[in-house]
Amino acid sequence: MDFAQGGELFFLLREEGQLSEKTVKFYVAQIVLALEHLHSLGIVYRDLKPENILLDDDGNILLTDFGLAKMVLQTNSFCGTPDYIPPEIIENKKYTRTDNRRQLGILIYELLVGHTPFFHHNVHKMFRAIRTKPFRRNHYLSEAAFDFISKLLVKDPSKRLGHSEEDARPIKEHRFFKDVNWKKIMQKEIKPPLEVHVQSLRYFDKKSLVKDLARLIKRVFGSR
């Protein structure tokens, strides 16, 4: 994989606190296209979150860490990041790509608001909230964003936006994306909203970089 100069979307979010709807819409549009491509190959990604989204040299997104991805039509494996796990996984039910739809809704909410909608320090209480609590509107959400996220977070996966064979089409047609030119997004003809600072470690995990560098040095010079 090529070096992603822009670092992690997670550290960008941590520094900014929350992102504007315009910025989020750009990144999410690219993610929708990435997931659509994976689904066309029969791959369920299963671990969508800010830590697994990188920014390239130009500021476009890259999905990374396919450790939980699976080529399958249906599965019931219990996996994922707690905040992003949908009700059907907690209840040990079979699920498909609708898992990605739910994660997409959680991601949009976190980017716009700064935290996930059902977060709790106690994982058991958080799982209970994911299963039982209704999704409520935060004052940072526009009407279109709230409606879009609500339809992605529907607890019944068979009623979730994007669950049908049409896959991403109803998602792309939602009014949240009314001003998005999908062809230009696909061709990367739209300038990313945030500028990547070349030769900057601004959006990198510094501790991980030090560990990776130490491993590289050991690999190169350890046998000498």
Q: What are the pLDDT digits (tens) for 32-85? A: 999 999 888 888 887 889 999 998 888 899 888 877 777 766 666 777 789 998
Confidence of residue 25 (pLDDT cuts 50, 70, 90): very high
The whole-chain average pLDDT of the chain stands at 84
What is residue 43's three-state secondary structure? strand
Residue 21 is predicted with a pLDDT of: 96
Query: How much is the pLDDT for 172?
Result: 96
Q: How confident is the model at residue 195 (pLDDT cuts 50, 70, 90)?
A: confident
Over residues 159-171, the mean pLDDT reads 86
- Say what the pTM is: 0.82
DSSP string, 53-109: EEE-TTS-EEE---TT-EE-S-B----S-GGG--HHHHTT--B-THHHHHHHHHHHH
The residue from 2, 47, 83, 205 that is catalytic is: 47
pLDDT-derived band at 93 (thresholds 50, 70, 90) equals confident
3-state secondary structure of 8: strand
For 32-36, 106-110, 211-215, which range has the lowest pLDDT when averaged over its residues?
A: 211-215
Q: Which domains does the chain have, with CATH numbers?
A: 7-221 (1.10.510.10)
Q: What is the share, in percent, of the chain residues with pLDDT greater than 90?
A: 48
CA dist., res. 101 & res. 167, Å (int): 10
To the query of whether residue 47 is one of the catalytic residues in this protein, the response is: yes
